[in-house]
Amino acid sequence: MSPPKPVRARTSRSCGNCRAVKRRCDQQLPHCGQCVRMRETCPGYRDEWDLVFRDQTNQTIKRTNEKRARSAATAGANDVPAPARELSPNPDQIGINYFLSNFVLGGPSSSRGYLNYIPSVYVNDGEHPTLVASLAAVGLVALANSTQQPELVTHARAKYMEAIHNVNNALASPSESIKDSTLMSVISLGMFEQVSGFETWVQHVEGAAALVVARGKSQFSSPVTIRMFNQVRADLVIASLHGTKPISRDMLELQEEAAKHTDTASAFWQIGILGTRCANLLFALRESTGGRRSAEFLKEATSIERDLQRNVESLAIEEPYTTTQEPSGDPSIILNGRVDRYQDIWAIRVWNNSRNLHMILCEMICYLLNRILGQNPASSLHSSMNYRLQETLQTLSRLGNDFLATIPQALEISSSPSDPRPSLDLSFRGNISGGYMLTWGLYMVGKCAVTTKETRKWIIQRLQSIGSNAGTSVALQLVEDIIKIDQLTAS
């Protein structure tokens, strides 16, 4: 009879209070529901990243000991010691480590990165091969481009093909297709698709949305599943705003279901809600013919903007930042000496999502105001609309400046206030996930009518740097549009 297999101890992800009294924790964000009901101060949850490192370390030790035991048994017959071999990471490990370091931790000075919920999926699904291959593919291609090591691209594409094969097999299985690791694999591969181009990336985002819909309303069982839904929804909003399709009814129904399982008062959740409203309003505006519905569209855009402004007031409390002046800073990274400092990459992402959304709303409002003004309204209405038009243009200018002031920290050129350590010295100056995160915002500011010619040229250089050095074809495609706009506005 074989000995029983050792049971792997699971580390509790409950908050500190619930662990102390051994009660069931609902793990809601930002505070545990049990603590809220008991009127206790919730101490928060354990760092998932620490759990990943702990589990990885134990497994590595186990594998190493087993390997040594086998080597000793083989060498024992001849009483000749086996030659010592150094442990060296293989391409898979290199890719995964680079991905986790840049997209989860957000670089050396951040605690919440671009995809900060991955550790939970990575641990819960036992390092699923599909997820491992996906993370390795994205990490290797990002490392290859950021450090100018083309030999890694071959490994990256091999892992990408393996990941796609694994994902397709998972989607064909009713049990595998609904796993969090499968959805997380699809989400992470979206990073790889930015290397291919906008159209390919959009198709991938739509595929991720279809998978979310297929998972159904029962998928919202933990905070992690809510975060994955938020990620897919955010990507889908970007694809819709810059594409030709609205947000589907199925996704909107899932959004309503997800709202029952999350903190709907949080700024991040509300930005997602407003994003879907804005995307569908823009689609309706594009589909409309003539100007008969201009007043109706303007009313809805105004309503969304009003809700967004209230959300920004809450965001300023949840994720405050400070504005500083660094006149001696590198002008290729710091525009006009302004550097805004946030708690981490995640805070920058939430703020910039809000700004990008607000800029699109302002552009719609300007378009509608000009359309109505072109119909020669009454003088009193003409005056008020003209005033609002100028006010909206000023808002666009302010939003653009606020976004550009996030670039130094997002690229890790400027350290965060919580950790003054300098950034890594890579061939690509900056954090690789920061480049991905900034692309669409740079495009929005670069094509904006109120952006000065000098600032537009500066943005062109930044996008070209991200596109060439980080290897993202999406950035190179978008910068071509800005170059054309710059040429048309040449005096």
Same domain, 299 and 372: yes
CB 397 within 8 A of CB 336: no
Instruction: Check which CATH number belongs to the domain holding 21 and give it.
Output: 4.10.240
Residue 401's pLDDT band, with cuts at 50, 70 and 90, is very high
C-alpha dihedral sign at 437, 439, 444, 450: positive
Pick the residue with more confidence: 339 or 153? Answer: 339
Q: State yes or no: pLDDT of 341 exceeds 50.
A: yes
- Output the CA torsion 421→423→424→430 (10° steps): 170
Residue 373 lies in a domain: yes
The pLDDT value recorded for residue 456 is: 95
Question: How far is the C-alpha of 397 from the C-alpha of 134, rounded, in Å?
Answer: 39
Q: Are 25 and 120 members of one domain?
A: no
Task: Identify the top-confidence range among 101-105, 260-264, 360-364.
Answer: 360-364
Q: Which of these three, 231, 260, 289, is where a domain ends?
A: 260
Residues 308 and 343 in one domain: yes
pLDDT of 272: 93
How far is Cα 362 from Cα 444, in angstroms, rounded to an integer?
A: 11
Structural contact between residues 479 and 463, judged by C-beta atoms closer than 8 angstroms: yes
Q: What is the pLDDT of residue 36?
A: 79
List phi, psi (to 5°) of 339: -135, 120
- Residue 425: what pLDDT? 34
Name the band, by pLDDT with cuts 50, 70 and 90, for residue 291.
low
Distance, CA of 331 to CA of 272 (rounded, Å): 34
Inform me whether the pLDDT recorded for 423 exceeds 60: no
Q: SS3 for 89?
A: coil
Placement of tokens 């005096």 in the chain: 491
Does the pLDDT of residue 427 top 60, yes or no?
Answer: no
Q: Does a structural domain hold residue 274?
A: yes
- Please tell me whether residues 245 and 298 are part of one structural domain: no
Both 190 and 249 in one domain: the answer is yes
Give the model's confidence band at 415: pLDDT under 50 very low, under 70 low, under 90 confident, else very high: very low
Considering 380, 414, 448, which residue would you say is the last residue of a domain?
414
Q: Note the pLDDT of residue 429.
A: 45
Is 141 within a domain?
Answer: yes
Same structural domain, 249 and 100:
yes
- Tell me how far apart the terminal alpha carbons of the chain are, to the nearest angstrom: 86
Residue 105 has pLDDT above 60, yes or no: yes
Within 13 Å of residue 419, how many CA atoms lie on the same side as its CB? 16
Q: Are residues 33 and 99 in the same domain?
A: no
Please identify, among 195, 228, 260, the residue that sits at the C-terminal boundary of a domain: 260
254 and 270 share a domain? no
31-78 per-position pLDDT tens digit: 788 887 777 788 776 544 343 333 333 443 354 455 455 555 554 444
Type of residue at 80: V
Lowest mean pLDDT among 196-210, 243-257, 380-394, 441-455: 196-210
Angle, helix 180-196 to helix 223-241, in steps of 10 degrees: 30
Q: Is 234 in the same domain as 98?
A: yes
- CA dist., res. 197 & res. 211, Å (int): 21
Max mean pLDDT among 36-45, 123-132, 405-414 falls in 405-414
- Based on the fold, state whether residues 329 and 352 are members of the same structural domain: yes
Domain count, the chain: 3
CA distance 200 to 191: 11
Question: Looking at the domain assignment, is residue 479 inside a domain?
Answer: no
270 within a domain of the structure (yes/no): yes
pLDDT, tens digit, for every residue of 190-201? Answer: 877 777 778 888
Question: What was the pLDDT predicted at 97?
Answer: 82
Residues 207 and 293 in one domain: no
pLDDT in tens, 294-310: 999 999 999 999 999 99
Asked if 482 contacts 460 with a C-beta cutoff of 8 angstroms, the reply is yes
Kindly state whether residue 419 falls inside one of the protein's structural domains.
no
Residue 119 structural domain: 94-260
**Does any domain span residue 57?**
no
- Is residue 89, in this structure, part of any structural domain at all? no
On whether the CB atoms of residues 384 and 397 are closer than 8 A, the answer is no
pLDDT (tens digit, 9 = 90+) per residue, 152-167? Answer: 778 888 888 888 898 8
pLDDT-wise least confident of 48-52, 169-173, 217-221:
48-52
Q: Based on the domain organization, do 201 and 292 belong to the same domain? A: no
